[in-house]
Amino acid sequence: MTGYIPTQGCELLGAYRIAMALKDCVVMIHGPTGCHFGPNFLEVLTNNHSSNGTVSVMRDRSVIYGGIENLEKAIAITRKHYKDKKIIVLSSYIPSIIGDDPEFIDVDLYVDCGGFQPMWQGMELFLEKLGDFIVRATDKKVDHSKTNLVNLVGFQLDVAGGEEDLEELKRVLALYNIRANVIPDTLESLKYANYASLNVVFGYGVKLAKRMERELGIPYVVVDYPYGVEGLKCFVEVISRHIDLKINHGVSDVIIDKLKKYRDNLPIFYEVPTCIVGDLPRISGLSRFLERELGMDVELALATSSAKENFDVSCTKLVNSYDEFYEELKGEPEIIVLFGTDEERRIRSDTIALAFPSFTRMSFVPYLGIGTLNLISDIYERIINKVWVK
Amino acid sequence: MTYVLPKIRLIYKSNMKSSLCAIYTNSLYLYMNCTHSRSEHMTTIKQLERESKGRFSLVGPADRYYSRMLHQATRYSIDCKIYGAICTISEIKNAIPLIHGPEGCAYYPKFFPTDALRMKLLGDRYPPPIYTTAMTEPHVIYGGEKRLEDAIVELDRKEKPELIGVIGSCVPAIIGDDLESVITTVRDKVDAEIIATPSAGYDDERAENIDDLALETLNSWKDETKKEDIKFGIERCGRLDAMYSIVEQLTEHTDKIDKSVNIDTFGRLHYYEDLRGEIEEITAVLNKIGIQVNTVFPGCSVKDIKKMPAAELNFMRRSENAAKFMKTKYGIDYLFDPLCVRYAGLDGIERFYMDIASKLNLEGEAEYTLRAEKSMLEEELIKIRKVLSEKTFSVVLIPMTVSVDYLKVLEFIGVNITKLFINTEWLERFGTKKDHTLALANKLSDLANGLGIEDTFINLDVSEEIEKSKDVDLAVIDALQYDEERVMLYESRGLKAFSPMWQGGYSPYRISYRMIARLGGAIVNRMQSRMPKRELLYFQYGFDGWRFPSLNDKLHCQICWEEMLDVWRG
C-alpha cells in the first residue's frame, strides 16, 4: 500500500504526548509551525488547564541557514514566560534532515524525533531518554525487594478519563499498601524511580524498563489496561508475583456488590456485537473485559498503535489500518457499541471515546477499578439507545 | 414548575439533493447546513424567520463546536500551509487531498474541523478522507516520486474521486521531489483530474505583512482613493497557493458566455456566516441585471472550474494571482477586493453591482435593479426602525477595513449608537504594532464622531466597558472572536447584549442587502426577548479584562505565543 489514511501520528507526536505529562516541563518542538499546531491542537482540546507546548517557528531562512538561531530565540522567550519550568526540545523532520546541531543549546533535554517512525516508537524513545535522569540520580544502592513502591510507566494520561483512571489504580494499590510513582509525572520525581521494587509498564516504556532492570536491578512487568473485575484481579496478581502483598478481592467485591442493583440487566449484554479501536495495550485489556466478563462479542478491532511487546486482543478480526478497518466495517452492519477515538465518532456519534485522541468527550470518572461500573453504565446506555429511541 | 418538552418538527423536502434540516422547537430554530439548491436557501430562511417568532439562529451546533475548537487551538499556535491547502481541496466537490510527506503530516488534519465552505456550499458535514504517501527514510534518500505516483494510482482506484489534490509537505520540498512532473507522468493512468500544490510548512508568507493591513486601512480612511492599495499581501499561504494551483492546472479554453462572471467566495473558518445566502443573493441580483454567474469558486465541482474561462469577468476576493493568471491566459478582466474594502456597507454593495455592470455595459439595468432592491430593503426596515427609534445602543468594534461602513449600516437600520468602544486587542494579538493600532483607533474615533457618535472609548477593560454601557438599551458586540463570552458577561451583569454575527447571521464582510434586513430583525428580536438571570460557571475562573476572555492562569501561554509570532515573522 503506497497511499493510505494514516492510523497514527508520527514519532514526534508520541514523544510529545509523553513529554507533556511532565508537569515541571515545557515542551518545545523544533520545527515549522505546523509540527506544533497538530500536537498542540490535540493537547489543548483534551485538557484545558494550560498549554505547555511551544515551537521554534522555523521558516525558509532556517532551512537555508540552519534553525538554531530561531531555536535560541524561542527558548529565551519560553524561559521568560514559563518561569521555573524545565525545557525539553523535541526536533521534527526538518532539523534532522538539514542537520541542526543542538550541542550548545541550553535546555534540560533534547530529543531528536525526526525519524520516520510511528507514534508508539516516539513514546518508547522519549521514555527511554528519561532513563538518563533516573540512572544519573542514583547514588546509592537500594534493596529493591524491601520497598513497597512501584513505578507505573507509560500510562496514557491524555485521553478522556486518563487522569481519573490513574488515580483509581493508585487508590487500589494503596489498599494493598503499595505506593506508586508515575513515569512520566515530573522530571524531579524521576530521582525516586530507583527506589521502586517493580516497574509496571502499560505497553510503552519497555526499553526504559529493560535499562532499569539492567542498570538498577529493578524487574519489570508489561501489562495492558486492566479493565473490569477480572482485569483488576490479574493486575494485582501480576504485581504480587514481585511484591509481597496479601491478595484480597475487596475492591472487586465492591464492584460486584454495587452491580447487584442491575444484575438482571446483564444478560442484555450477551453476544452484543461490538467494535473497538485504540492502542494495542488498551484494546487488549478492553476486549478481554467485554468478552470474558460482559459476554459481548468483539467482532472487529483496530490497533491504532502497535507496541514493543505482543498483546492478545480477544476478537473475531484484528486489523492494523483504517483502510482495512473501513473495509471490514462494511461487512459488520450490526455493530451495536463502538469504542474508540474521536475519529470513530464521525462514524458513530455515540462511540465511547476512550483511546487517543478523545477530546470529543468530557469525563470526570474512571473506567478502571470502581470505574468499571461507569463503563458498564455507558455501554448499557448505548444498547438501550438502540432499542428505546423512536 | 411544569417542564414543557420542546415541540420538534423536522422540515424535510424530499426533492432536495440531501437533507434540509431545520429543527424547529417552540423557542428556537436551528438551521443546519444542507445541500439543497441555492434558490431554495433564502426562501427557507425567510420561512424560518417568519415562523420562529424571533428565536432564530443560522448557527448550528457544528458551527459553534468547530469555531470553539479553533479558538482554543489558535491561542497558542498557528497552522502551516498543509492545513490551508487541505481546506481548499476539500472545498471542491468529490476531491480528495493526498499529502506527499511523512504519515504524521496527514494525521492531525483528520481531526480538524470541517471547512466551513465545504459544510455550507457543498453540504458535507465531514472532511474528505485525507491520504498520505507516508514517506520514510528511504524516500528521503532516494526520492519519493515513485511512491507518489503509485499512491495517486491507488487512490484513484480506491476512492474514484473527481480530483486528487497532491499537497507537497516540507520533506519533499527539501529533497526536491518534482510534483508536477509526477502528475504529468501519471495523468494517463488515472480517471481523476490531478493537481499539485507546493505546501512546505516553512514557506509561508502569512507571517510577513500583518502590520501593513493596519497602515493601509488607516491610509484608506484618511484618503478614500487609497482603498485600492489594500492588498493584505497574503498570496503565498497554503490556501491561496492551492487556489492558484487549481485554477492554473484545471482551467481550459472554452467558448465564452456573454455577460457572465465568476464569483470567488471565501470563509474557510467562517462558521457563523451565511456563506450560501450571500452567493444566492448575488446570483439572483446579477440575474436580474442580466448577468449570469458562471462559476462560484470554490464550493463547486471540477467541471465548474474547467469552465471558468467562459466568463467575461472575474470577481476575486482572495487570490489576485489567480485572477492575473486568467487575465493573461484567457483574457478575462477582473475585479479584486480583499477583505471587502470597496464593497462593504450599503454604498459598497451598490458599488459592487455597478462595477460588475459597468464592466459588462449594463449600468442602466443595474441602476434599475438596485433601486428596486433598496426600496424593498427600506420597506422591510420601516417596522424595525419604529421599534428602535426611542432606544440607545453601544457598539464594541475592532478597527478593520469595514468598520466605518459597518457603523453606517447600523445607523441606516435605525440603531442610535450613543457609545462606541474601540478595541485593538485582536489586532495586537496577531502582531500589529501598538502605535499603528492606536492610530487606527483614533482615526476611527474621529470618523465615528463625524457620524454623530459622541462618546467613543479606546481600549477599555471589558468591565469598564460594561460599566459605561449601563444606560443603553442594548450593547452590540462585534469583537471578531469570543462574542459569545462577551455577550454573556454583559448579560450576567444585567445588561442586554447582542452579537450580530452569532445571533443575527450578519457579517459586514458579506455583500448582501438581505443580511442587513435580517440584522435589523434580529436586533429587534433581541430587544424584545427576555433576559435570563445568569451566574455563569465560566466566569468563576478569573479572566483578563483586556485579553478577554483569556483566563488568568494560562495567560502566560498566550503571551508567550504572541511573542513567538514575532520570531516567526523574523
**Could you tell me what percent of chain B has a pLDDT over 90?**
76
Say whether pLDDT at B389 is over 90: yes
Other beta carbons within 10 angstroms of residue B292's beta carbon come to 15
How far CA A300 is from CA of A5, A29, A331, A357, B141, in Å, comes to 18, 36, 10, 19, 38
- Strand partners of residue B196: B166
First to last CA, chain A: 43
Nearest CA in chain A to B81: A34
**pLDDT above 70: percentage of residues in chain B:** 89
Between positions 172 and 211 of B, the ones with CB within 8 A of A are 174-175, 200-204, 207
CATH for the stretch A255-388? 3.40.50.1980
User: Pick the residue with more confidence: B17 or B521?
Assistant: B521
Query: Is B568 in contact with A33 (Cβ distance < 8 A)?
Result: yes
**Which residues on adjacent β-strands are paired with residue B165?**
B97, B195
Range of the domain at B28: 9-57
Interface test with chain B among A28, A45, A59, A349, by most B beta carbons within 10 Å: A59
Q: What is the pLDDT of residues B74-94, one digit of tens each?
A: 889 999 999 999 999 999 999
Give me the pLDDT at residue A102, please. 85
Is the pLDDT at B31 greater than 70? The verdict is no
Q: Do A33 and B79 touch (CB under 8 A)?
A: yes
Shortest Cα distance, chain A CAs vs residue B177, angstroms: 15
Q: Side-chain half-sphere of A312: how many Cα atoms within 13 Å?
A: 4
Main-chain phi, psi angles of A388, to 5 degrees: -95, -25
pLDDT of residue B232: 64
B104·A357 Cβ contact <8 A: no
CB pair distance less than 8 Å for A34 and B80: yes
Over the stretch B323-339, which tens digit does the pLDDT of each residue have?
999 999 999 999 999 87
B296-305 pLDDT, tens per residue? Answer: 999 999 999 9
A128-167 burial code (b ≥16 CB/10 A, e <16): bbbbebbbeebeeebebeebebbbbbbbbbbbbbbbbbbe
| pLDDT (0 to 100) of residue B431 | 85
CA dihedral B151, B153, B154, B158 (to 10 degrees): 130
B56: pLDDT confidence band, cut at 50, 70 and 90? low
Domain boundaries, chain A: 11-117, 142-252, 255-388
B241 touches chain A (CB under 8 A): no
Dist. CA A198–CA A152, nearest whole Å: 9
Rounded CA-CA distance A127/A180 in Å is 17
Distance (Å) from the C-alpha of residue B235 to the closest C-alpha of chain A?
16
| Interchain CB contact of B135 with A (< 8 Å) | yes
Q: How far apart are CA B128 and CA B130, in angstroms?
A: 6
Which CATH code fits A11-117?
Answer: 3.40.50.1980
Which 8-state DSSP code applies to residue B402?
Answer: T
The answer to whether domain A11-117 and domain A142-252 are alike in fold is yes
In the predicted structure, residue B210 carries a pLDDT above the cut 80: no
Kindly tell me the burial class for residue A88, based on how many C-beta atoms sit within 10 Å of its own C-beta (0-12, 13-18, 19 or more).
buried
Residue B233: inside a domain: no
pLDDT band (50, 70, 90) for residue B43: low
CATH 3.30.2230.10 fits A142-252, yes or no: no
Assess contact for A351 and A275: CB atoms under 8 A: no
Which residues, other chains included, contact A11 with Cβ-Cβ below 8 Å and sequence gap of 6+?
A113, A114, A115, A116, A117, A118, A119, A121, A122, A125, B104
What does the pLDDT average to over B301-327? 96
Is the CB of B70 inside 8 Å of chain A's CB atoms?
Answer: no
The C-alpha of A357 sits at a distance from chain B's nearest C-alpha, in angstroms, of 9
- Whether B554 and A81 lie within 8 Å, measured CB to CB: no
Pairing between β-strand B313-316 and β-strand B333-336 as defined by DSSP bridges: parallel
Specify the pLDDT at position B21.
37
Q: Which residues of B322-356 are buried (b: 16+ CB within 10 A; e: fewer)?
A: bbebbeeebebebbbbbbbbbbbbeebbbbbbbbb
Residue B14's pLDDT band (cuts 50, 70, 90): very low
Domain assignment present for B387: yes
Question: Residues B207, A67: contact at Cβ < 8 Å?
Answer: no
Question: H/E/C letters for each residue in B261-301?
Answer: EEEECCCCCCCCCCHHHHHHHHHHHHHHHCCEEEEEECCEC
Q: How crowded is residue B120: how many other Cβ atoms within 10 Å of its Cβ?
A: 28
Is B208 among the domain residues? no
Q: Does A74 touch chain B (CB under 8 A)?
A: yes
For residue B225, the model assigns a pLDDT of 79
Task: Indicate if the pLDDT at residue A63 is higher than 60.
Answer: yes
Average pLDDT, chain A: 94
**pLDDT tens digits, one per residue of A167-221:** 999 999 999 999 999 999 999 999 999 999 999 999 999 999 999 999 999 999 9
- The single-letter DSSP state of residue A4 is B
Burial of A335 (0-12, 13-18, 19+ CB in 10 A): middle
Alpha-carbon torsion, ordered B311, B312, B317, B319, to 10 deg:
80
Specify the pLDDT at position B40: 55
Q: Does B151 lie at the interface with A, CB-CB under 8 angstroms? A: yes
User: For residue A12, what is its C-alpha cell?
Assistant: 514526534
User: DSSP 3-state assignment of A78?
Assistant: helix
For residue B423, is it within any domain?
Answer: yes
Question: Are A51 and B557 a contacting pair at CB < 8 A?
Answer: yes
- Asked whether residue B239 is domain-assigned, the answer is no
Domain count, chain B: 2
pTM above 0.95, yes or no: no
CATH code: domain of residue B417? 3.40.50.1980
> B-contacting residues of A 34-53, CB under 8 Å?
34-42, 44-45, 48-53
Residue B320 reports pLDDT greater than 70: yes
Closest CA to B218 of B450, B456, B480, B401: B401
